[in-house]
Structure 1
Amino acid sequence: MKRILFALILFTGLAWNGPLWAETPLTLMLDWFPNVDHLPIYVAQEKGFFDEQGLAVEILSPSDTADALKLAAAGKVDLAVSYEPQTVMAAARGIDVRVVGRLIEHPLTTLLYLKSSGFTKPADLSGKTIGYTVPGLMDVLMDAFAKVNGIENYRLVNVGFSIVPALSAGRVDAVMGPFKTYETVTMAAEGLEAGFFELEKWGIPDYDELVFICGAETLSREKKRITAFVKAVARGIEVIEASPEAALAAYFQAVPDADRKVETAAFRLTRPYYAKRQVCDPERWQTFADFALKHGLIERPVAVAPLLPALDAD
């Protein structure tokens, strides 16, 4: 009887508590405040794809635009949304990070300005004040972009999250870092017409705009849960492809304070860029890393293969 009673208590406890993974949430820090760039994550959350993988996921917003990679590399959060250029730069500094999946598979970053400024080519920004969004990334990327495109004697200013106010108030003439699928829409909502230079059309190699990263130690410890997370996000992207309106509705349910008009317009522009596969292309990453070395984004060569572990999550 004691054995039967113990078995019943054990079974009840397991049935009540569910998967052991769910007891400790997997922490994910975004690169920015929640927006439609992150929509596949919220679809996975709202549609129960994380639950089906036995995961509880805690989604965090950064207090500063440079926080996510730093905290993930230090093991303070399990995962972070980061950028391919930022990841390559971190690797060049000896920071032991790993790329475990993709969110946006082509560049969205632009050098953004008010169309009324009349700029027609990047060199028109010589002698101007240029803002940037992510310290240690967009300022460095701006320097490389300037070298490639002949922008001289410019002054850099960190504008952080305050992109549109900095432009509309005339504090800066342009900003490096805004997305062509998002800030252009927020500007339009305020009656401002955006102009922008797309990086990949002005000398910067194609790259993965948003990726999921973690520290090397975290991956070693949490590989199963991280693989499960990436699989759930991939399913979220499948929902976007099959039922975009349902995906957007799930996002608004998860982020009820979002501006529906702005986010809906941004979603239509962003939808073609969500990653079709979670596996990164090593050749494309190496091309960017070699460009980064040549143009001074990094000071020493980076072999990208160790950054891109195989997770079997695609």
Structure 2
Amino acid sequence: MMFHLRKGFFCFLLVLSLILPSHIVFAREKTSSEPVRLKVLLLPFLSYAPFFIAQEEGFFAEQQLQIEFVQMSSSAAAIPPLAQGDLDIVAGTLRISTLNAIIREGKIKFVSDKGHIGAGGCTYYGIIARQALVEAGDLKNPSQLKGKKICLASGFATSEGYFVEKLLNRGGVKLNEVEIQEHIPFTAELEAFKKGTIDLTVGGEPKLTRMVESKHGVLWMPVQEIVPDFQFDVIAYGPSILQKNREAGRRFIVAYLKAVRQYHQGKSGRNLGILRKYTNLDTEFLKKICWPSIRIDGSINAKSVLDFQDWSIKKGLLDRPATENQFWDPSFIEDANKILSSVSK
């Protein structure tokens, strides 16, 4: 009798394991360890939307992660502490300083998309021209950029400089035939547009819409017409994850990509409410502006990074090139996509 009971019990367990494997695996993902504390850079920008969503919807908590958001002046300021292990995760603009840190120390890698120049759809990044200049017919094509004053708020040694030189090349205009003005705050930049002391600038949202609504600037050329599918934002891991806790890094990307899936639902009431809370932009303005493109699977356009790197080397801004394997680790998104796919079935 006891033999039959044991046999029946084991048969029951076998059937249960065949029916619910994905749920059991996923539960183990969430409960296999105590909550892990991660220090993550957070800035109040639209491209951090999946971070906001993951926090508000409890996706990080589902993965047994306790996130400590750290605010700094910019993502550039976060690279040294990331390399030293004082920060675990930094998401931000693709920067030459980050590539230099990867090449010199080998302690940082990109692990997911956080924003790219979508080839179609709305314009998140654009070349903004002074309205009076366009209305006068002085900017009908890139060849007329010669002699113009161009503002690069982030500086030339950034993707903005890359965009502008690509544009100048189209018109056969050399870099020394324009005047580049750098690191000008938005309010001063807007005033310069009014006075005519700046002719063009490069900007993403919400700067783009604010410039256009001021009636002093117009969207002259979408950046997707210059560098379609360019990888302008990435998530980067430092040695505290890459060398010491890859499991926590994998769980972070599971939560992040789950949030990206919700982000892809668009300007829903829930998403608008979350973005309003973290960006301090009002709902009507959020409805109006273009949201950045983020790939649902987290993949990046590695070729665009290599192209940007080549330009940086030619300009003497980068020590030497990094290989794709040196700056990109796709294993985290590969694992996360498998987990999310198994759960959704």
TM-score by length of 1: 0.75
Note the aligned Cα RMSD (angstroms). Answer: 3.2
Deviation at 1:44, TM superposition (A): 0.8
Identify the residue that residue 181 of structure 2 maps to in structure 1: 156
Contact kept? 1:99, 1:308, Cα under 8 Å: yes
Distance 1:89 1:147 in 2: 25
Distance 1:293 1:211 in 2: 20
Aligned equivalent of 1:117, options 125, 133, 137: 133
Q: Rg: which structure is higher? A: 2
Q: 1:68-89: CA deviations, max 9, x gaps?
A: 3344334332212223354774
Corresponding position: 1:28 with 2:44: no
Partner of 1:56: helix, strand, or coil?
A: strand
Q: Identity of paired residues, percent? A: 18
Partner of 1:184: helix, strand, or coil?
A: helix
Corresponding position: 1:130 with 2:150: yes
Corresponding position: 1:145 with 2:170: no
Aligned equivalent of 1:182, options 197, 206, 211: 206
Q: Please give the residue correspondences for 1:68-147 in structure 2 after superposition, counting only pairs within 5 Å.
A: 68-84=78-94, 86=96, 89-90=99-100, 94=104, 96=106, 97-106=108-117, 108-118=124-134, 119-135=139-155, 136-138=157-159, 140-141=161-162, 144-145=165-166
Aligned residues: 286
Q: Please give the residue correspondences for 1:142-291 in structure 2 after superposition, counting only pairs within 5 Å.
A: 144-145=165-166, 148-149=169-170, 150-151=173-174, 152-160=177-185, 162=187, 163-168=189-194, 170-176=196-202, 178-179=203-204, 181-202=205-226, 204=227, 206-242=229-265, 244-245=267-268, 246-252=270-276, 254-255=277-278, 257-266=280-289, 269-270=290-291, 273-290=293-310
Contact kept? 1:205, 1:291, Cα under 8 Å: no
Quick one: structure 1 residues 193 and 138, their matched pair in 2 at CA, closer, same or farther if it must change by over 3 Å?
Answer: same
Distance 1:117 1:313 in 2: 49
Quick one: structure 1 residues 158 and 247, their matched pair in 2 at CA, closer, same or farther if it must change by over 3 Å?
Answer: same
User: What letter matches 2:117 in structure 1?
Assistant: H
Aligned equivalent of 1:57, options 67, 71, 85: 67
Identify the residue that residue 11 of structure 1 maps to in structure 2: none
Contact kept? 1:134, 1:160, Cα under 8 Å: no
Deviation at 1:54, TM superposition (A): 1.1
Distance 2:56 2:225 in 1: 36
Contact kept? 1:187, 1:193, Cα under 8 Å: yes
Gaps of 5+ in 1: 1-17
Contact kept? 1:185, 1:262, Cα under 8 Å: no
Distance 1:65 1:166 in 2: 26
Contact kept? 1:104, 1:274, Cα under 8 Å: yes
Distance 1:189 1:205 in 2: 25
Distance 1:299 1:92 in 2: 11
Deviation at 1:211, TM superposition (A): 0.9
Contact kept? 2:145, 2:168, Cα under 8 Å: no
Contact kept? 1:69, 1:213, Cα under 8 Å: no
Distance 1:164 1:188 in 2: 10
User: What letter matches 1:172 in structure 2?
Assistant: I
Quick one: structure 1 residues 172 and 256, their matched pair in 2 at CA, closer, same or farther if it must change by over 3 Å?
Answer: closer
Contact kept? 1:144, 1:295, Cα under 8 Å: no
Partner of 2:104: helix, strand, or coil?
A: coil
Distance 2:112 2:288 in 1: 26
Q: Please give the residue correspondences for 1:3-18 in structure 2 after superposition, counting only pairs within 5 Å.
A: none
Deviation at 1:224, TM superposition (A): 2.0
TM-score by length of 2: 0.70
